[in-house]
């Protein structure tokens, strides 16, 4: 698994425990588990959409297929970003701060 052995994984786990603390680890694990589950569901949904779109779409040119894949990719990225923002602690506040900073930057410019 990427050249990581038991000692390396134990060191990483210890660092995570020290960095986040024992009280926050269950919440982080739950959030990551939900995120992975949602990513799998979105992947299944998009693969189902892709199959149905291929069946119903007329294959006129390669550019149309690329645009369909581009739209599906953008949709997947947006859904994953929304789920991560909703489930991982601290990201929602960081995004709000970034949005406020962007508004201030537009006003100043």
58 pLDDT band, cuts 50/70/90, is very low
Return the higher-pLDDT residue of 43 and 58: 43
Q: Is 5 left (phi over 0), alpha (psi -120 to 50) or beta?
A: beta
Tell me which of 16-20, 29-33, 42-46, 60-64 is least confident. 60-64
Spatial separation of the C-alpha atoms in residues 69 and 72, rounded to whole Å: 5
The tokens describing 19, both together, are 């960095």
pLDDT of 1 higher than 50: no
For the chain, which residues make up each domain, given as ranges? Answer: 6-108
Spatial separation of the C-alpha atoms in residues 84 and 38, rounded to whole Å: 10
Mean pLDDT of 79-104: 79
pLDDT score, position 62: 47
pLDDT score, position 55: 58
**pTM for the complete prediction?**
0.40
């Amino acid at each position: 698994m990427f050249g990581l052995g038991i000692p390396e994984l134990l060191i990483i786990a210890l660092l995570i425990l020290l960095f986040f603390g024992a009280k926050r680890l269950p919440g982080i694990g739950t959030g990551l588990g939900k995120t992975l589950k949602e990513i799998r569901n979105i992947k299944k949904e998009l693969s189902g959409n892709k199959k149905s779109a291929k069946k119903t779409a007329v294959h006129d040119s390669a550019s149309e297929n690329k645009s369909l894949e581009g739209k599906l990719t953008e949709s997947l990225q947006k859904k994953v970003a929304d789920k991560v923002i909703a489930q991982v602690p601290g990201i929602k506040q960081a995004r709000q701060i970034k949005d406020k900073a962007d508004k201030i930057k537009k006003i100043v410019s």
